[in-house]
Amino acid sequence: MEVSYKKHINIDKNNRTEFLLINWDYEDGGDYLAQIFCKEFAMLKEEKVDYLYFSIIRLHLEQITYELLWHEDFGNIIYSMEQNKEVIDTLEERLKIVLSILNKKLQAH
C-alpha cells in the first residue's frame, strides 16, 4: 500500500486547492504528517483542535499556514490558507517529499 494524493478544487470552499491523501485515512494520520512537515521544513505546529466529526492541525512557516484536516467521511486533506499559485505549488512539492518519507517508513515495516 502506497500513500499518494489527489489534487482537488473545492468549489464549496471558494475554489480552494486541496490535496486529498489516498490510502492514509487514519484519524491520527495528520499528527504523524505534521511531525514530518515540522522536521523536514522547520514548520511550527499548533495543537490539534478536535471537533465532532473532524480535526484540524495548523502548521506555520513565516507567513504561510497549512491546515491538515481529518474528516471521518473522507480522511486526511492538506491545504494552504494562502491560495496563490506559488504557495500551492510549494505545498505540493513539500507534500511529495513528506509522502516519500512516509512511504519509505511504511515499506520498512
Over residues 19-75, the pLDDT tens digits come to 999 999 787 888 999 999 999 999 999 999 999 899 999 999 999 999 999 998 889
pLDDT in tens, 67-96: 999 998 889 999 999 999 999 999 999 999
Q: What is the C-alpha separation between 83 and 92, in angstroms, rounded?
A: 12
Q: How confident is the model at residue 4 (pLDDT cuts 50, 70, 90)?
A: very high
Q: What is the C-alpha separation between 83 and 22, in angstroms, rounded?
A: 22
Q: What is the pLDDT of residue 56?
A: 96
Q: What is the C-alpha separation between 81 and 59, in angstroms, rounded?
A: 10
Q: How confident is the model at residue 1 (pLDDT cuts 50, 70, 90)?
A: confident
Give the pLDDT mean for 6-19: 96
- Determine contact, residues 36/45, Cβ cutoff 8 Å: no
Distances (CA, A) of 37 to 15, 44, 65, 75: 24, 9, 12, 18
Residue 86 domain flag: no
Q: What is the pLDDT of residue 26?
A: 80
Question: Which pTM value belongs to this model?
Answer: 0.93
Residue 90 domain flag: no
Residue 97 domain flag: no
Q: Supply the range of the domain harboring residue 36.
A: 1-75
If one counts the domains in the chain, the total is: 1
Q: What is the C-alpha separation between 12 and 37, in angstroms, rounded?
A: 27
Determine phi and psi for 35, rounding to 5 degrees.
Answer: -60, -45
